Structure 1
Amino acid sequence: MVVRQLSEALVNRIAAGEVVERPASAVKELVENALDAGAKKIEIVTDGGGRRLIRVTDDGCGMTRADLDLSVERHATSKLTSDDDLMAISTLGFRGEALPSIGSVSKLSVMTRHASEPHAWGLTVEAGVKSEPAPAAFNAGTRVEVRDLFYATPARLKFMKSERAEGEAVREVVRRLAMSRPDVSFTLAGEERAHVTWAAALPGPAGRLMRLGDILGADFRENAVEVSAGREGLYVEGFAALPTYTRANSLGQYLFVNDRPVRDKLLVGAVHAAYADYLPRGRYPAVALFVTIDPREVDVNVHPAKTEVRFRDPGLVRSLIHGALREALTREAGRAASTGGDATVSAFRPAASAPRAGWDWRRSPSAPYPVQSFPSQGQSRGNAALGLAEAAQAVFDVGPAAASARVETIAPAPDALDKPLGAARAQVHDNYIVSQTRDGLVIVDQHAAHERLVYERLKAAVERDGVARQILLIPEIVEMDETDVERLVSRADELGKYGLVLESFGPGAVAVRETPSLLGEIDAGALVRDLAEHLAEWDDSLPLERRLMHVAATMACHGSVRSGRRLKAEEMNALLREMEVTPNAGQCNHGRPTYVELKLSDIERLFGRK
């Protein structure tokens, strides 16, 4: 075996494989350089998903002729002034590999002008071959243009995705960088996407939320709560969505360390743990959190793409993020996602209702007198003046009356109208409480709401002095599979913390001797079987606290007011008042909203009053 020195061109192409994985990687490196140069306005233009063209223009400080000539050389950077700077990196780019790596696999051109220079300078790099700097016409700042990316390494092109997919990856990179710097204006344009501009926002939380709303949507802005905490030189800021505003995947979690977008398992785990008490399985929170830490306390040099970091004190970071999120969610515990009310109003609109088939009020046996048939849409519109012939009137075809649609109306208490959840006015379908406020109405799911109340009582009782138990006069014997019996008996101590005392009763049964008094009269057999199913899904590595929360949530579900139970006016109002003072009452233990609020203005628009 012969050892030989690799050529400079091959070394650059190998480096390009690490740094420039796809067009989005090149965009990330170039935009980061622009931010490090102090740019306040950055424009990104792409074509072919970035494969045919990437152009990044900024109004930063620019470069002198000498700096430009050196910038496309390997490991040349302005970000590190001494060897000690590597231990305290405060910039986004510092490796000095971006421009030479990109230039080794594409046709690269750079134009720049520094304030100290009489004119701009430009140079080109094609497949690693650099030209001499030459005078150019350009305003202050820098423009980097990349054409025919990977043309010098055709094998890499085989692994490229479609232009649409690569363009979306570029958009996601720019979105993340735009979220990290709301003080900078970003413009993203290209043939594969509509032109978009995110204007610079004012400093402070309001400006940050405005930028996040522009990128993540108005729904996130309306359902976000502010997160802010600091300890021992570590700070976390940002916004987290309410537990009732969730996503089907974790792509809605945006995490930053010193304004650097990262995908760090430690941070993701802290977010997941903070929401564990709120979200159902398969749903993920939407957050945008910004961690600020002394550069000496974090290592950003652990990955060529700089997407991963390593903290000197990971426990401190995890606990601060977890605590900050829990404090913010508890502070806004009474809120439910606004999207529920919007969806409810939309469902009421006539356009959202399809004509019902199989029933016509004109042919009903209870019709008081015969009615002439109206023409259908396909017939002549000569009788168009007959309003019920209009297609939009299909919303009134509600079908035969349902026996379960019972409404118990209640006179409102005047002083209760000013409460956040108002005064109970009716119970619909023996499950939904309709309450009136000064400026709207609220629909409450009585089972989901009471489930959260019981859950919070159980947790408070455990933290205080333990859950009070009630001894069954005759122990209830529950037969089940032997494996389930073993699981329950092995967790008997944990179940006992919440007042459920059971023991093995032969190979295929357990005897329930005591139940939590908070739950009142319950079906102990159904509760034990549900717990056995949950235990089968537990991971042994799951922390004890999380396991206990699962136990409490299951017990709360069985001890809450069931759907179909008729409530008195006093009971409904008592439920509303307790919701207003109970933490996290805006969602049940499974992450579903406990109530939907409709503003009077929305209802008036629905009926054309506004």
Structure 2
Amino acid sequence: MTTSEIRELDPQTVERIAAGEVVERPASVVKELVENSIDAGASRVTVSIDRDGTDGIRVTDDGTGMSRDELKHAVEKHTTSKIRNIDDLESGVATLGFRGEALHAIGAVSRLTITSKPRGGQGTAITVEGGSVTDISPAGCPPGTTVDVSDLFYNVPARRKYLKQETTEFAHVNTVTTSYGLANPDVAVTLEHDGRETFATTGTGNLRETVLAVYGREVAEAMCDVPEDDVPEGPLDTVSGLVSHPETNRSSREYLSTFVNGRYVTAGAVREAVLDAYDTQLAPDRYPFAVLFLEVDPGTVDVNVHPRKLEVRFADESTVQDQVETAVEAALLEEGLVRSSAPRGQSAPEQTEIRPGGEEGQPSEDKQSTTSTTTGSERAETESNRVDTSSGPATSTEDTGSANVSNSTDEDYSTNSTQSDERFTEQTSDESDTTQRKFSSSGTQQRLADTEEKRRFEQLPRMQILGQLDETYIVAETSDGLVLVDQHAADERINYERLQNSFTGKTTTQALAEPVRLELTAQEQSLFEAHSDALSRLGFQASLVDEKTVEVRTVPTLVAESAGPALIRDVLSEFISSETDAAETVEAAVDELLADLACYPSITGNTSLMDGSVVSLLSTLDSCDNPYACPHGRPVIVEFDTDEIEARFERDYPGHS
């Protein structure tokens, strides 16, 4: 066949392409099957996963079940009991699954067996392999339906090839299952992995009990109610659910769950509205726990904009955002969760920090004075010098790392940490209020702008440092034009290479005077077990003391003061959010984690720097193997050559000399 010849694809190829739109990974199968179970009126749903799900997925429910004839039709293409025609779609779909393609699509890329029995009827089992029915026969079974999926993607090796590592795939299954457990507190949802129960909700209808089963006691106790009567007029009939205290947060959106008419969706507009409601109570890179239910006229929302129905489109999106933001903000205000002095997303004043060799609960003088003199924007940035207490409410000190730590096992590493702290010295002069400023003289340090010669570097261009822009970018003149240096990205690169160098030898750690216990969610616990070796090599000596509690004994030296034991949660979340295969080995996993750990002690934006600090920063950056990009790939230096600057000022107009 020539490349220009157009021909019709054979039915088998068409089916596999269509199946790929619905069945992207094992979690896609679980989503479709759990939706079918809930639509069938089940009061109990059990999801069992073997390894990453490709070996085996089983979903069992006690719903209405299907007869022999219904089973035969259920595995055919576009057959459903949930809609009748296009009018049902136009008026809005009230069920979770409706396209009639899930079972057919799953059967097209796996070996599928469905055993079902309607109440008062006979049990039947049907087997489908690669899209073809191979057997249908009577079966003894309780009322309800059990769907067994094995050898997923056995006939689509390309799809199987691009699946992530086992822990990542199971994490996606965990997310789907917990989401539907949270969405349906009146249904007892259980998730089992390799024969062991991961979590189980009670099915009593109590949402807080469901959160307790899924996320643990600490999170459940930190949730506050979003009452239905706090929503202003608009497309949404009601907004209800639970949102967490600002101090109980994570580094990813993984735990911000939104449901529209009972359907789990990733509605970007709704999520942004939730974050807007917290305003400055959360740092830009922190996210709350939320379980939010939106009820809306089905005719005003389109759930068919995504092949797997993960996204929705509202007819009046801006008003929906206003309604959600108002409802969540009202809930937080009702609970009195408005802070005026603590840094965003960080610990309240009474929470103590991890400090080498200090007295327990005794902050250092320099940090006390800094906290009392910094302005609002500067105060938010001092979070880099504080322990991450995202693990719980402000009134809880169980896992904030209140214990002090012993001296570092590596003097050089401790020195590096001290030098990093010195770079955080902040300016309090009037100059710090300007958008761009030159560095003020301090002690014997000279004004950089008065330096006669451009400073020489080995890798970086020769430059004369002029000042800071927005207290975030270092501005310098070069022989070719102008450069901006992102101070956070620069320091992140430096810390990353320090961590790398440390890791190639003996990992330097700081031991906690008293072990700190952290309560993990079901998902975090599963990830901890899978990656405990990587965490250990990185400097986190920790172990599970029960199913959902980990005891931390040591932390990496470089991040001991800025993050602490609770950083383990953020590290674990990266195994999901990174969506890469790089974590297939411990070495590669650790390299990913080093890049994330490097961020914590790094100079942040909106931080005033003195001239000596800038020179030290640039000199250290110049000695890095790669001074041009942070470990996450962001540029450290942006250069504007003279030609570009002159073109922007249109200095090449006719007649200009």
| TM-score interval, smaller chain | 0.5 to 0.7
Matched residue SS, 1:133: strand
Code of the residue aligned with 1:217 in structure 2: it is: G
List gaps (5 residues or longer) in structure 1.
Answer: 357-394, 406-427, 432-444, 456-476, 486-507, 509-528, 538-591, 593-610
* Greater shift in the superposed pair: 270-279 or 149-158: 270-279
Code of the residue aligned with 1:330 in structure 2: it is: L
- The structural deviation recorded for 1:353 is 10
Matches of 2:223 and 2:468, distance apart in 1: 34
Code of the residue aligned with 2:105 in structure 1: it is: S
Q: 5 Å matches for 1:5-84?
A: 5-84=8-87
Counterpart in the other structure of 2:251: 248
Is 1:97 equivalent to 2:97 in the alignment?
no
Counterpart in the other structure of 1:159: 162
Counterpart in the other structure of 1:305: 308
Counterpart in the other structure of 1:125: 128
CA deviations on 1:35-83 (whole Å, 9 max, x unpaired) are 0000000111111211111111100001122111000011111110232
Matches of 1:479 and 1:197, distance apart in 2: 57
Code of the residue aligned with 2:127 in structure 1: it is: T
Counterpart in the other structure of 1:282: 285
CA deviations on 1:134-186 (whole Å, 9 max, x unpaired) are 21111100011001101111222211222222222211110111110010001
Matches of 2:174 and 2:349, distance apart in 1: 28
Counterpart in the other structure of 1:208: 207
Code of the residue aligned with 1:323 in structure 2: it is: T
Code of the residue aligned with 1:216 in structure 2: it is: Y
Counterpart in the other structure of 1:328: 331
CA deviations on 1:181-226 (whole Å, 9 max, x unpaired) are 0100011112185443221123xxxx11221222122222222221
List gaps (5 residues or longer) in structure 2.
Answer: 381-428, 438-448, 450-466, 476-561, 563-657
Distance 1:239 1:29, change over 3 A: same
- The structural deviation recorded for 1:283 is 2.2
CA contact 1:257–1:292 (8 Å) conserved in 2: yes
Matches of 2:216 and 2:350, distance apart in 1: 16
CA contact 1:27–1:54 (8 Å) conserved in 2: yes
- The structural deviation recorded for 1:244 is 2.5
Code of the residue aligned with 1:296 in structure 2: it is: G
Greater Cα radius of gyration, structure 1 or 2: 1
CA deviations on 1:65-104 (whole Å, 9 max, x unpaired) are 2111000011111110232111210111011111111111
Q: 5 Å matches for 1:252-263?
A: 252-263=255-266
Matches of 1:65 and 1:334, distance apart in 2: 56
CA contact 1:69–1:132 (8 Å) conserved in 2: no
Matches of 2:175 and 2:58, distance apart in 1: 17
- % of aligned pairs identical? 36
Code of the residue aligned with 2:313 in structure 1: it is: R
Counterpart in the other structure of 1:502: none
Matches of 2:350 and 2:56, distance apart in 1: 42
CA contact 2:65–2:145 (8 Å) conserved in 1: yes
Q: 5 Å matches for 1:180-579?
A: 180-191=183-194, 194-202=197-205, 207-228=206-227, 229-230=230-231, 231-232=233-234, 234-334=237-337, 484=436, 532-533=470-471
Code of the residue aligned with 2:67 in structure 1: it is: T
Code of the residue aligned with 1:32 in structure 2: it is: E
Distance 1:268 1:76, change over 3 A: same
CA deviations on 1:436-466 (whole Å, 9 max, x unpaired) are xxxxxxxxx8779x979x99xxxxxxxxxxx
Code of the residue aligned with 1:219 in structure 2: it is: E
Matches of 2:137 and 2:337, distance apart in 1: 64
Counterpart in the other structure of 1:176: 179
Counterpart in the other structure of 2:113: 109
Distance 1:176 1:342, change over 3 A: farther
Distance 1:341 1:128, change over 3 A: same
Matches of 1:482 and 1:315, distance apart in 2: 35
Code of the residue aligned with 1:242 in structure 2: it is: H
Code of the residue aligned with 1:143 in structure 2: it is: T
Distance 1:315 1:136, change over 3 A: same
Code of the residue aligned with 1:100 in structure 2: it is: H
- The structural deviation recorded for 1:322 is 0.9
Matches of 2:473 and 2:304, distance apart in 1: 42
Distance 1:134 1:208, change over 3 A: same
CA contact 1:48–1:192 (8 Å) conserved in 2: no
Normalising by structure 1, report the TM-score: 0.57
Distance 1:216 1:152, change over 3 A: same
- The structural deviation recorded for 1:111 is 0.8
Matches of 1:402 and 1:267, distance apart in 2: 39
CA deviations on 1:307-356 (whole Å, 9 max, x unpaired) are 010011112211100111111122222578999699959x8xxxx99988
Code of the residue aligned with 1:220 in structure 2: it is: V
Code of the residue aligned with 2:156 in structure 1: it is: T
CA contact 1:167–1:192 (8 Å) conserved in 2: no
- The structural deviation recorded for 1:264 is 1.6
Matched residue SS, 1:150: coil
CA contact 2:202–2:209 (8 Å) conserved in 1: no
Matched residue SS, 2:124: strand
Distance 1:297 1:241, change over 3 A: same
- The structural deviation recorded for 1:277 is 3.0
CA contact 2:249–2:287 (8 Å) conserved in 1: yes
Matched residue SS, 2:436: helix
- The structural deviation recorded for 1:4 is 3.2
Distance 1:219 1:447, change over 3 A: farther
Matched residue SS, 2:279: coil
Distance 1:531 1:484, change over 3 A: closer
Distance 1:325 1:446, change over 3 A: farther
Matched residue SS, 1:149: coil
- The structural deviation recorded for 1:429 is 7.4
Normalising by structure 2, report the TM-score: 0.53
- The structural deviation recorded for 1:132 is 4.9
Code of the residue aligned with 1:113 in structure 2: it is: K
CA contact 1:43–1:57 (8 Å) conserved in 2: yes
Matched residue SS, 1:81: coil
CA contact 2:258–2:265 (8 Å) conserved in 1: yes
- The structural deviation recorded for 1:484 is 3.0
CA contact 1:68–1:133 (8 Å) conserved in 2: no
Code of the residue aligned with 1:122 in structure 2: it is: A
Matches of 1:212 and 1:140, distance apart in 2: 29
Matches of 2:430 and 2:199, distance apart in 1: 62
